Amino acid sequence: MGKRTQRKVSTGHQSPGLTTKDARTLRVKMVLLGSSGVGKSSLALRFSKDEFKGTSPTVGSAYLTQVVCLSDVTLRFEIWDTAGQEKYHSVTPLYYRGAHAALVVYDISKRESFTRAQMWLKELQQHYVPGSTVVVLVANKGDLSDLRQVTLQEGNRLAIERGLLFMETSAKSGDQVNELLLAIAHRVKRSLNEHEGGPTERRENDFIELSRSETLQHPLAPCCSSVGP
């Protein structure tokens, strides 16, 4: 199975993902789901280290982290990359239960992966409460547009029908990957604020215009915890 981590246990009444009541640092569990070979591991690596390299099929799950600094809060993403092979399907729910964000990934050059993504979405609906988990449809391998079998319009239509965030990315080139993670960060923050009964983000556009102070913190980047609104 995948690498396990230890969480610090906090006391008092807190929302899921909030490490301390006043620190404004959110711990966010995010899982990547989809067929084998759609690029989940490559996306996770691009999210975490802004790197791309050939990967072998994931066994069980793999775990990476990334810090996203918005104008008024820091989110620590705990990224779970799950195996796409059918033989691991029965254990996958152990990883996505309790997730704040779930990314369902398909390969634009393989229609079968798009069909499989719809099955993942149906299964997710049975395991999360609407509003508690940010579900995202991700069309990966945008660099293979000459081999495209699934149009952008098809992916966007499915996302609209299901009320999901949607973006087409390329883990190989990095195109739209940072934008996707920042959009997810805003959605997760809004979801947690609504759970707490606090202020909410504007809803006019899922792809919120980002201020210059909102950044990704890669492993060698300076600490961004002092970033202000």
List of the chain residues with pLDDT < 50: 1-23, 58-60, 85-88, 197-213, 218-229
For residue 213, the model assigns a pLDDT of 42
Domains of the chain: 25-217 (3.40.50.300)
For residue 85, the model assigns a pLDDT of 46
For residue 96, the model assigns a pLDDT of 76
Residue 14: beta bridge partners?
A: none
Please state the pTM of the whole predicted model.
Answer: 0.74
Torsion angle of C-alpha atoms 57, 60, 64, 68, degrees rounded to 10:
100
